Amino acid sequence: MEQERLRALHEYRLRDTPPDDELRALLRVAASIAGVASASLNLLDEHRQYQLIRIGGAPVECAREDSMCGVRFTEETFVHVPDARADPRYRRNPWVTGELGRLRFYASAPLITPRGHALGTLCVFDEEPHELAAAQRAQLTDLAGIVIAFFERRRQAWLTAELAEAATVKQQWSDTLVDTIDAAVIACDARYRVTLWNRAAREWHGRDGDGDRTSPGIARRFGLFEPDGVTPIPDEDLPLQVALRDGVVLTGREMVIRRPVGDPVNVLVNASPLRGPDGERVGAVLAQSDVTADRLRRRAIEEARERLAVANAELERSNADLTNFAAAVSHDLIAPLAAVGGYLELLAEEGFAAAAAGSAEVIRMRDLIDGLLTDALTRRSSGSAVGRR
């Protein structure tokens, strides 16, 4: 319990901030209500009592065991001591005996946080015996509540400032991150007004779209075209419009951004609606990723395939010519050569010696022609196989 109380005391950071004039004025009111000259706001930590503000003298710090407020402040009740010398709980206290003071009258209202932690007291005191009426005690108790309200207000102001600073830092970090990535990120609110437009979007579209509305003609204004790079995309088909209007997620929508300066950019677009805590559509966001290099590679591959197809067709034509040539050779050379060979064989039978030598040369020529035909057909077959590969 004491650890929680101390944690609460430190959370208010009361020692880190100079007292406000409002608190000084409040203490003057407390002293006036009590009819004395001195009042203070006393805070107690694990070891010390320190006077945050005091009127009627300079603030004094002392050990917690020497504090008059430390005797009963955790009881969370109003303490009223008309004459401390007559009270056994206080008569030997250093603030009474003369070591720290010569107090006789002492009264305090506990400072209780909304969570029930006692931080210290609003204290009024005097060196002469004094007594408070019930109405005075009630008024001092009310003032203690006002002090806590003041502490709480200041605490909330600190927390708000810190949250705002943290939010600013987080936003700056997020903006830096979004601007660092190579994808264009664009978002709009429920009224189609652009709320996010990162670095890549600015570079690709050649402008800053923050605050712009997705009004008619936006596709042309931002250079958005179908994948052919020529056909404008209708406004109602834009991914951001579709995601917000229909509440659907779109993936892989391809388009071309024709930039005011530079080559067009081929992009793939993913878009999604943004929803609030209750599921209502509060906006939409999209990301455009550059696929220009991939599309250039694809076109290069297609062009290479087309050139290969032309080469295959030319090879097929050459093979056909070779087949026709082989047929012509077979018909126009081999057949007559066979006839010549037959005549030479007849002459050889008649005793012409030279005819036998001529027949041998005919056979050798036919073998040579057969070899040439075989080689041509082999080349044709190899060429077809290469074409198929």
In this structure, are residues 9 and 42 in contact, taking their beta carbons and an 8 Å threshold? no
DSSP string over 119-133? EEEEEEEESS-----
CA dist., res. 91 & res. 83, Å (int): 9
User: What is the architecture of the domain spanning 182-290?
Assistant: 2-Layer Sandwich (3.30)
Confidence of residue 386 (pLDDT cuts 50, 70, 90): very low
In this structure, are residues 53 and 25 in contact, taking their beta carbons and an 8 Å threshold? no
Rounded to 5 degrees, φ, ψ at 59 are -60, 140
Residue 367 CA from chain centroid, whole number: 81
In this structure, are residues 108 and 123 in contact, taking their beta carbons and an 8 Å threshold? yes
Average pLDDT score over residue span 288-292: 88
Q: 17-37: per-residue pLDDT in tens?
A: 666 788 999 999 999 999 999
Strands, E, within the chain: which ranges? Answer: 38-44, 48-55, 61-63, 79-81, 105-112, 118-126, 184-189, 194-197, 224-225, 250-257, 265-275, 281-290
For 283, the enclosing helix (H) or strand (E) is strand 281-290
Rounded to 5 degrees, φ, ψ at 110 are -70, 145
In this structure, are residues 188 and 283 in contact, taking their beta carbons and an 8 Å threshold? yes
Highest mean pLDDT among 164-168, 204-208, 242-246, 318-322: 242-246
Residues 6+ apart with CB under 8 A from 129: 82, 83, 104, 105
Q: Which residue has the tokens 């969570």?
A: 115
CA dist., res. 292 & res. 187, Å (int): 23
Q: Which token pair is 179? A: 């601007």
State the angle between helix axes of 335-349 and 353-388 in degrees (0 to 180), rounded to the nearest 10.
160
Q: 72-96: per-residue pLDDT in tens?
A: 988 889 999 999 999 999 999 999 9
Q: For the domain with range 2-160, which CATH number is right: 3.30.450.40, 3.90.420.10, 1.10.3720.10, 3.90.550.10?
A: 3.30.450.40
pTM: 0.51
Assess whether pLDDT exceeds 80 at residue 167.
no
Amino acid present at 229 = G
